[in-house]
Amino acid sequence: MGGGGQEIHSDPFSFPVRVYWEDTDAGGVVYHAQYLAFMERARSEWMRGLGLGQDLLRSRDDLVFVVRAMTTDFRAPARLDDQLQVSVRLLECRGASLVLVQRVERDGALLVEASVRIAALRASSFRPCPIPPALAASLALLVETA
């Protein structure tokens, strides 16, 4: 991948998350901002699973991916001690951005869904930049249809 010749596989990605006290309000319901943290962890693990850890991208390609925009639909609450699955699907890979869909589910029931636009930035300047061609080509193989 990205010069290393590593293959990227398009298996569906899902990351398990357990709900702890620190994730909830006084009623034991997950605080809305915690879903963003759960989704960030899942995106990071998805990238790491592709062989694209954030440290590697920063040191090798002077590249970081950051959230530029997010639309979130909260459908049902998660509660203390729930076991959740947070999924990541790549819908678009453009010159300098990605669009992902993320879902938070409990026992197959959808709790939260988000559309996430990710921007590519130079790590050294935090200015927008194109995704390196080899990386973009590899990520394009993962694009799914909605």
For residue 51, the one-letter residue type is G
Helices (H), the chain: 32-49, 54-61, 133-140
* Backbone Cα Rg of the chain: 16
The dihedral over CA atoms of 69, 119, 57, 92, expressed in degrees to the nearest 10, equals 90
> Is residue 41 a contact partner of residue 116, using CB atoms and an 8 Å limit?
no
Looking at 11, 23, 25, 73, which residue is catalytic? 25
Is 25 an active-site residue? Answer: yes
Max alpha carbon distance in the chain (Å)? 50
Active site residues: 25
